[in-house]
Amino acid sequence: MQISNCKSLIAVGFTLCITAQSVNAETLRLLTWGGYAPKAVVDMFKAETGIDVEVTKSNNEDMIAKLSATRGGGFDLVQPSQDRIASAQAEFNIYKPIDLSKIDNKLFVTSMLDSTLKSSMYDGKPYGVPHIWGTSGLIVNSEKAADVKDYADLCNDAYKGKVTYRLKRPTLIAFAFSMGLDPFAAYNDPVEYEKIMLQVQDKLISCKGNVKAYWSGGDAMKNLMRSDETVAAMAWDAGGWQLHDDNKAINFVAPTSGALGWIDAFVIPRKSKNEAAAYKWINFVMQPKIAALITDSAGNFTASKGADEFVNAPLRAKYQSSFDTASVDNIKWYPPVPAGLEIIEGKVLDRVKAAK
């Protein structure tokens, strides 16, 4: 009885392993942001290559947390922001270098590709190629908070309990710029950086009364803005443009101290089981027409060369309404984060959270 039970258990186990393996062979496990792998594109990819794409939605911190838990396993392709690749690799050894020979570099906007390769460099090898870029800035309800022009304006007394932002590192950086400081210049000087962060900490603590809630998901933020419970937010451009569709008074505004520019990249985890499929996916989604589809879904532009002309006109119009030429020039692009800075930031964030 027991022996036969054991046997059947082992049999079941084997079957599971085999099925798991066979699924692996035709599956790409993608860890990415919401909207970056729309169903239409996944279906097209399946039709062309026969590979299923299993999409897991995530964010920068969660990606690193997930991969560091498995030491780089569990996914075949991930999409962290380019500034957070090298430091995570230094700390946790979770990625493998990108094989440029398998990338069709003609598909990329050259300047962006070069920038991402450079910023994701660790130990002399590049780890990422660019995919989608965008900015963080302000989302403002112009009927109720027309005078919010910069991050620091969120702390105006007029908006007590009426603003929302995240309690994450972009907020710290944004407020630093808004206060006339330059955190990026201090990236390699931890002492100086901590000084800047402590000033930001004081600012954010004094500003706490204005905050309705620290949002953690894009949908929560959009809900707050839609219901008029908040009138201004620090958030991503795409979220602002989506809100604009529902309520013309709400739109994304590039702050006077500069929007923060980010590029989300493609990186291959160290224990990727299907590298070939990962490269296939990268080359597939960077085709201009496919990239345009993703732009429609994510609300942000891609690093695909020539994709812009396929993007629908309204989105381009919204982009232009938020960014004039000066604003584009003023975008502060995140340089790679040196390992260790996040410990300083973490404590600042904890203290802000703990303050009354």
Q: Which residues bind another protein (CB under 8 A)?
A: 2, 61-62, 64-65, 68, 88, 90-93, 161, 167-168, 208, 211-214, 227-229, 339-340, 342-343, 346-347, 350-351, 353-354, 356
Instruction: State the amino acid at position 205 in one-letter form.
Output: I
Closest contact distance (angstroms) between CB of 15 and another protein is 22
Instruction: Give least dist CB 292 to another protein, A.
Output: 33
Question: What is the Cβ-side half-sphere exposure of residue 238, based on CA atoms within 13 angstroms?
Answer: 20
Question: Is the CB of 214 or the CB of 333 nearer to another protein?
Answer: 214
| 121/167 with CB nearer another protein | 167
Residue closer to another protein (CB basis): 213 or 249: 213
CB of 321 to another protein, least distance (A): 28
In whole angstroms, how close is the CB of 86 to another protein at the nearest point?
11
3-state SS assignment for residue 350: helix
Q: What does the DSSP assignment read for 37-72?
A: S-HHHHHHHHHHH--EEEEEE--HHHHHHHHHHTTS
Three-state DSSP class for 131?
Answer: strand
Quickly list H helices, the chain: 2-25, 39-49, 60-69, 85-92, 110-119, 169-178, 190-206, 218-226, 237-246, 275-285, 288-298, 313-322, 325-330, 341-354
Q: Which is nearer to another protein, 86 or 291 (CB)?
A: 86
The nearer residue to another protein, 290 or 341, going by C-beta atoms, is 341
Residue 229 beta carbon to another protein: minimum distance, rounded to whole angstroms: 5
Exposure class string for 65-77: b at 16+ Cβ within 10 A, else e: ebbeeeebbbbbb
